[in-house]
Every structure is written in structure tokens, then in C-alpha cells.
A and B are shown apart, each in its own frame.
Chain A
């Protein structure tokens, strides 16, 4: 990719650093959902391999802050992924990127709980341990295969979605208690709510906290695609009878 190519990287673009199998898997998922994704690595062979496979990949020396700035970190880019196989590279990149842009979302992959702590200290917003997740899944397949099967087939399959819906200004839902809100007229389950003003923490509706909904809150619902779309529309148009069932 030439210097002119960098200019193409727009606001919603996602940068993936590290082009191993993991980087590819992430880029594939992101591209398939329509996010413009660019892969970077300092390994020329990996890059040419990816280019051959049809990815937007480029060679980049991640140690050079100027280069990082040139691809949009500190300006337009909102999210980057550090997916190098070496932990030290991830830590270094996280530190550099965090210094360039305090608001940047940095997602890192880690090898163990020890390195997770280091990455958080370096400024990562989210650390994912693929091996721990896989280990847990294998264990769950042994201890409670039915739940794994159910989630695979429905929630992570094609039937049921998890979605977030924002409550608009002057909605009839404002002032309602999360605890008693059931959304009876929609075939969805309200898992919880995030009050962006307070924190990014998800308040589960089963936590028993008496939270009053207000505008700007994000509802997290789970249900079939159609029902979620219907709910979104009803909230958008503030259809009182549908939402509150009165």
C-alpha cells in the first residue's frame, strides 16, 4: 500500500496488527460484516501471503510512531487490534498507540492471565485470551454439552441475535424500572441495560438493582431477528401500547 493508500483509511476503518492465522480469522469476520479492515505486519512474507488471499494488507514498521500516525492512529481510526503472536510486540504497540490517542479502543490477544495484566497496564481496552476461551469451551462441552449446543445453534448460530437498542429522548420507557420491565409483547428477553452516563458496565436485569431507565440508556436484548427489528421500530416510534402493554 502506498502513502496515498493510507489516506483512504476512513473513520470506521479497523486496523489489525499481526497477520498470523488469528489476524486472518479476525479480518475475515470483520470484512464479512462490512467493516473496512486493514491488516498490518512487519513481516514481508506474511503480508504478501495475505495480499494473495485478497486481504487489504500492508507492510508497516509498528515501532515507528510516525508510521502509526500516518495510518490514522491518533486521528481517524477508532479501533485497533493487536494480534501479534509475540506478547512483547503487543505490549509495545499498545503502549505506542495509547500514547498517540487516549480515546482509542485497543483490543489485544494474550497468551495467559499474566500477560493479560501487562496488556491492561499498557493501556489495552480489552484483552482476549483465545486459549482460555477454548479451554473453557472444551470443558463446558464435557460438563454441560447441552448448553453449549444450545448457544451454538441459536445465539451464535442463525436463529437468535443479541442486540443493543438505545432509548431515545421522551420515550415512554423513561422512568420505567428495569427490574419490572418485561417487554411482554415482544418475543425477546431483556438481558440488561447500560447507563452510558454512569459507566460502561452492563447492569443485568437479574441483578436486582432498581435502575430507572432514561434516555440514552442502551437496552441489551436477545431474541429472534424479526422480533428485535420490531422492537427497535416500536421504540423508535414510541408505541406505548406495544412497549408497556397497557
Chain B
């Protein structure tokens, strides 16, 4: 008999292990489970909001039907709708039950450990662990609410219909603001508990005293202890319906005391709630902004909303390029908010914040534009460590820090004061040429430098520069940028641009190729017109 039993459990455990390995290997299983996780649990998944909205609508309409049905008969439609809603709830409950943990991995963990220490694998401890996990799920508050939303639909339990209102509590699952509210309050549970005990004490004392004085009187309104508890709470909360009023002088004195105590309780309660939220407001706001950054896939992070940061933010906003501002200073933070930028208040030096904003993956550009070189170097360095591929543009206020920024990993360094120095020197030396230089640096004039890309199948592909009458179009061919180093060339006016070649003022017989960038000088209208002609092929 013992032998048979052992064999049976051996066969059972064998097939269990085989099944677990099969599941571990199956990509299909993985994909289905991942999808369900995204749908039901993952707060960052894209499908999640749609699912949440659907469930909210379902809950609200089923509760509304329940209320409507009290007075009206809807017949078949109601039954069908209710049946559908309940099946969805049941399905959801079971799916959540399933994805709560990875049961096959528990089995494999136990099995592999047993193999490792050369012991016989025993099924029961593994199954017990799985069961414990599942029970953990079933007893979690949200799962209980889910269950309560389903159970009263079962006919024999119709008397529990009032519990169908529990469905409204399901909304906790689907709306972040409600769950945040609960979270905030739960952090103040000690204060709330103190208040509750205090309130219970006052209510009980006042109710007993009132009962003592009033219950024996003649035309009394208090017939039992529940009446006096009811009266105490109504009075203390400052609601005061007035359906029960004290008739004796002693009773009135108790009322006066209770009213004063009630004011204290109410203000205590209010202050707890207010302080809970003001403590948490910053965190909630940051959390909100970060989740918006994730949802909208914002990949430009601007650190520091100083003068340069503001200017860049304005320009990006004009381009409709989405970006997120990080600014520690309260005043600047408010300014950014007023201007309508997406902004989070915090130190960009904090790696946690940078990580949340996606520096280690999603983000493609980081702009370190604070007024402090030390902070900029620090941000640059930590961001570069997190993500070797991200493009970092840093601001250096002192010239000697430009090299440090580059060493810390900045791709480009912008030095506001050095630019002024350069402009100043040109202004003093060549006041006339200065205008042209200023136009090139600041782009304030309408004339400037623009590039046009020569596409495959463009009319200019394979043509000479001299074939185009730039003069007539009021343009000057400033140069050509060509990808890749083209063998050894004798052109002395070829300059190296980080792996690209720049040919300055090309000769008329210079042949253009697809992929070239034609750099032109001229009025912006001329360039726009040129581009248009090039697109249409009417050059």
C-alpha cells in the first residue's frame, strides 16, 4: 500500500515538474500572462487606462440599474445585463487570482533546490507555498471587495443585495485618485485612531449623562440608550437635527459642554485631513507628473528653469516638442507652471528622480541648464553613467568648466559668457562684419544659414553646383556636408566635422550626391522657396 502511494505521488510530482518546465519554456504562456498583467495590474501599461475606463462604466451602470430597478421593472434586459456584468467580474477575479504569482516557478524553485542538495523532491511544501500565496491574494482587501461585488448575485443569497453596492468600492481599483486618497489617509491612521477613541469616549459619556437625567422625565423624547447615542453624535458633529432635544436644565448643560467638545473634535479631524494632504501634496504631484511623462513618452528633460532654461522651454513649446522641466526652486517652479510647462519640483542631482523620468532608458535628451556649473557637471556625470546613449547638452558658465563638462560626458557644451566674450571681441575688432557674425550666432536677422538635404531621386542628385542658378534665387551656396570620409582628396577646403566632410564654397563643377546636405546662406523665404522647388523637381 505504502509502495503504491509513493509511486503515485512520484508520478504526480514528475508530471507537475514537467508541466512547470513546459510553462517556463512556453513563450505563448509568457505573452498571455504579460498581456493580462499589463491589462489588469501594470500602472504603466498603455492598455490599462482603457480597461479601467471600461470597468468604471460597467460598475457605475450596474449600480445605477440596481437603483433604478427598485421602482421599475426592467425584465429580461436587466437580467442579461446583470449576467454579463457578473461574468466579467468573475472572469476578472479569476484572472487576477491567476496572475497574482508564478506558481510554476515556485515548484521549479523547490525542485531545483532539492536536486542541488541531492534530496528527494517533495511536492507538498511547494504546493503549500503556492496555496499560501493564493490565500494571500484572496484575503487582500481589494480581492474581498471584488468577491463581495459578485456573491450577492447568486440567487439563494439575494438577501445580500445591499452588498451589491460594494461594487462601487471596486472603483478603487480603477481610479488612481481614490486610491491615493486612501493611501494618504492611511498614513495618518494613528491620529485618526486617537481621534476615534476620543470621540467614542465623549459620545458615550455625554449619552450616558443625558440618559441619566432625561430618561425618567415626563414628556421626554429619550426612550432608550440608542436615542441618547444618536442625539450625542448628531449634536457633537454640529449637525443638530433637533428631533431630540433635552428638556431638563441638566440635560441642556450637558448639551452645551458637548457642543464645545464637538467643535474641538471637528477641527481636530479637519486639521488631520488637511495636514495629511499638505504633507503628501508634493509627492502626489510629482507622482502625477512622472506618470504623465511615462504615458506621453516625453523624452526631453530640461534641468534648471533659469534664464537659459526659460528661453529653451519657450522655444521647445513653440515647436510643440514635449518636454519636462526639473526645478528645485519654489519660485521658478511656479513660474514654469504658470507658463503651462510640465514641471516637477525636485533636485536633478537625485538619481532616483532622473531614473523615474526615464534617463536610464526612454529619454533621448537631457539638457543641464542650471546656473551652477557644479550641479551641471554632477547631473551630466550621473546621467551619462545611467545611459551611455543619451544626448546631453550642458551649460558651462565658466570657461574652464567646458572641458570638465565634456569629460563628464556632455555631447555639447553651451557657454553663455564665452559667447558674449566672442561677440564683444568681434564688435571691437570688426564693427562692420560684426553684424554678419551676430546674425549667424543669434539668428535675429531673417538672413541666415539653412540646410537642404539631397534625397535619393532628387533632381539635384548627380548634378553640378554650377547647374543651379543660386544667384537668381538670392541664395549663396555656402558649402556641402557629406556623410563619411571620402578617401584622400586634394580639396584643401574640405574640413572634418566629426566623421562628416564639410566642403566650403564648392566649385561650380562640384557634383552633388544623394545624402548630401547643401548648406546655403540667404533669406528664409528664399530657402523655403528653394526647398519647395526641389521637392516638386522644378529646379
Contacts and interface: CB of A to CB of B under 8 A. Distances in A.
Contacts of A139: 311-312, 315-316, 319
Given A147-B451, A192-B436, A206-B523, A137 B419 contact: yes
Contacts of B271: none
B397 interface: yes
A189 B393 CA distance: 31
B481 to A, nearest CB: 6
A143 B450 CA distance: 12
- Residue from the set A143, A145, A146, A194 with the largest chain B CB neighbour count within 10 Å: A146
A146 B308 contact: no
Contacts of A83: 420
A234 interface: no
B229 to A, nearest CB: 66
B417 A130 contact: yes
A136 B311 contact: yes
B449 A29 contact: no
A109 B475 CA distance: 33
Contact of B420 (A26, A138, A151): A26
Interface in A150-205: 150-151, 153-156, 159-160, 162-164, 179-180, 182, 187-189, 191-192, 194, 196, 200-202, 204-205
A35 B476 contact: no
A111 B421 contact: no
Interface in A109-165: 109, 111-112, 126, 128, 130-151, 153-156, 159-160, 162-164
A162 B449 contact: no
B1 interface: no
B476 A126 contact: no
Contact of B476 (A26, A149, A205): A205
B436 A134 contact: no
B481 A134 contact: no
Contact of B440 (A144, A151, A187): A151
Contacts of A194: 432, 435
Contacts of B316: 139, 142
Interface stretch (B49-57, B182-190, B380-388, B423-431): B423-431
A79 interface: yes
A22 interface: yes
B163 interface: no
Given A107-B424, A131-B416, A180 B502 contact: no
A207 B474 contact: yes
Contacts, number: 215
A85 to B, nearest CB: 11
B333 interface: no
Given A30-B425, A130-B417, A135-B315, A220 B365 contact: no
Interface string B70-84: 000000000000000
A26 B369 contact: no
Contacts of A201: 435
Given A136-B315, A204-B447, A159 B495 contact: yes
A22 B432 contact: no
Contacts of B445: 204
Interface in B458-496: 471, 474-476, 478-479, 481, 493, 495-496
A77 to B, nearest CB: 12
Interface of A: 14, 21-22, 24-26, 28-30, 32-33, 35, 79, 81, 83, 105, 107, 109, 111-112, 126, 128, 130-151, 153-156, 159-160, 162-164, 179-180, 182, 187-189, 191-192, 194, 196, 200-202, 204-208, 218, 220, 222-224
